[in-house]
């Protein structure tokens, strides 16, 4: 087993842990006019998923800030806002600056990170630790899904039964694997809550792990334009997705079915893991070492 798959295999056990009581954090956010979320790379995808959870499940106005960097202006933050900074390492300099600037302006800053004692914790008033443990390879896997679950729980309480069903589904996925199709996909599309963010995370894993450049789209956005390009296409959608039939009408469609677990947000966690396994399958098919991605580091310093 590759080190990547060892990380992937741990996720079910991590989801079976009791979630922390996030009541105080929910009440803190309830006093704020809007929740802003920010991250870079996989953390940005987690942030966008979290924003969807806040808006749909938590009835809280939420938005995703641009990934910070040189020449990327950030909106002016105010003291009636909350900023959730997602950083697996807690050491990305651009995200640290966002956290410090937000706090200087009086905003409440929550850090969501996987590394205990990181600099991001010092910049935030509240820290939500993923507790996923050190990842053996650079492409983020278990730190992504544990962060997704925490944001889902921060938006509104999570049914324990749904969480356990999600963990059972992950065990099943890992035991069976997700097979690669005949041809590398040109597009990856996802449906459901935060479908665009999930598609972007799956596409990133295909790039990092297998060296495949794939365009991510939500199902709806794909059918409103890119469908004209056609396949090959990999789709991660629910069996009852109303647009499933339209996807199946297209040539060269590879549908990855993931059982529902009783919570629309946790269903997306299972799709992310299915995407991780799909990336590992394509790495094996293409003879790429999934444990040795080219040009990547856990902490990337950009201008």
The pLDDT, as a whole number, for residue 191 is 94
Identify the band that residue 303 occupies on the pLDDT scale cut at 50, 70 and 90.
low
Judged against a pLDDT cut of 90, whether residue 71 lies above it is answered with: no
One-character DSSP codes across 52-87: HHHHHTS---EEEPPPP-TT-PPPPP-TTEEEEEE-
Is there a common fold for 20-157 and 161-286? yes
Using pLDDT thresholds of 50, 70 and 90, give the confidence band for residue 300.
Answer: low
Residue 256: what pLDDT?
92
pLDDT, tens digit (0-9, with 9 covering 90-100), for 124-176: 999 999 999 999 999 999 999 999 999 999 999 999 999 999 999 999 999 99
Convert the pLDDT of each residue in 47-70 to its tens digit: 999 999 999 999 999 999 999 987
- In whole angstroms, what is the distance from residue 273 CA to residue 281 CA? 12
pLDDT at residue 231, as a whole number:
86
> With 70 as the cut, is the pLDDT of residue 44 above it?
yes
Of residues 296 and 217, the one with the higher pLDDT is: 217
- Contact status, residue 99 vs residue 40, Cβ threshold 8 Å: no
- Give residue 259's pLDDT: 86
pLDDT number for residue 225: 94
- The pLDDT, as a whole number, for residue 297 is 65
Tell me what pLDDT residue 294 has: 77
pLDDT confidence band for 302 (50 / 70 / 90): low
Segment 229-239 mean pLDDT: 92
pLDDT given at position 255: 93
Given this model, what pLDDT does residue 170 score? 96
Q: Stretch 96-125: mean pLDDT, rounded?
A: 96
Q: Where are the domains of the chain?
A: 20-157, 161-286
For residue 299, pLDDT beyond 80: no
pLDDT tens for each residue of 79-100:
999 999 999 999 999 999 999 9
CATH superfamily of 20-157: Glucose-6-phosphate isomerase like protein; domain 1 (3.40.50.10490)
Mean pLDDT to the nearest integer, 178-194: 96
Q: What angle do CA 231, 232, 234 make, to 5 degrees?
A: 110
Do residues 231 and 253 touch, judged by C-beta distance below 8 A? yes
Burial group, residue 23, by CB count within 10 angstroms (0-12, 13-18, 19+): exposed
Per cent of the chain over pLDDT 70 is: 97
Element (H, E) at 171: helix 160-176
Superfamily (CATH) of domain 161-286:
Glucose-6-phosphate isomerase like protein; domain 1 (3.40.50.10490)
Helix (H, G, I), strand (E, B) or coil at 191: coil
């Amino acid at each position: 087993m590759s080190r990547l798959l060892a990380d992937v295999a741990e996720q079910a056990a991590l989801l079976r842990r009791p979630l922390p009581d996030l009541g105080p954090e929910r009440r803190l956010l309830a006093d704020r006019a809007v929740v802003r979320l920010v991250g870079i790379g996989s953390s940005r995808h987690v942030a966008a998923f979290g924003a969807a959870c806040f808006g749909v499940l938590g009835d809280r106005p939420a938005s995703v800030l641009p990934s910070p960097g040189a020449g990327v202006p950030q909106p002016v933050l105010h003291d009636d806002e909350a900023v959730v900074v997602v950083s697996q390492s807690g050491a990305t300099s651009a995200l640290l600056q966002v956290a410090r600037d937000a706090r200087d302006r009086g905003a409440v800053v929550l850090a969501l990170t996987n590394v205990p004692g990181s600099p991001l914790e010092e910049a935030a008033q509240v820290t939500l630790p993923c507790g996923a443990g050190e990842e053996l390879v650079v492409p983020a896997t278990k730190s992504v899904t544990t962060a997704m679950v925490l944001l889902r729980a921060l938006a509104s309480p999570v049914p324990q039964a749904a969480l356990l069903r999600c963990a059972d589904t992950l065990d099943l996925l890992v035991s069976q694997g997700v097979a690669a199709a005949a041809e590398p996909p040109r597009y990856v599309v996802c449906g459901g809550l935060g479908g665009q963010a999930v598609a972007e995370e799956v596409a990133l894993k295909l790039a990092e792990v297998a060296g495949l450049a794939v365009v991510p789209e939500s199902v709806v956005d794909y059918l409103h334009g890119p469908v004209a390009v056609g396949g090959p296409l990999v789709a991660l959608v629910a069996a009852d997705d109303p647009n499933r039939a339209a996807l199946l009408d297209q040539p060269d469609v590879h549908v990855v079915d993931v059982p529902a677990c009783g919570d629309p947000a946790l269903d997306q966690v299972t799709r992310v893991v299915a995407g991780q396994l799909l990336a590992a399958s394509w790495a094996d098919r293409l003879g790429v070492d999934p444990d040795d991605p080219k040009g990547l580091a856990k902490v990337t310093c950009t201008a």
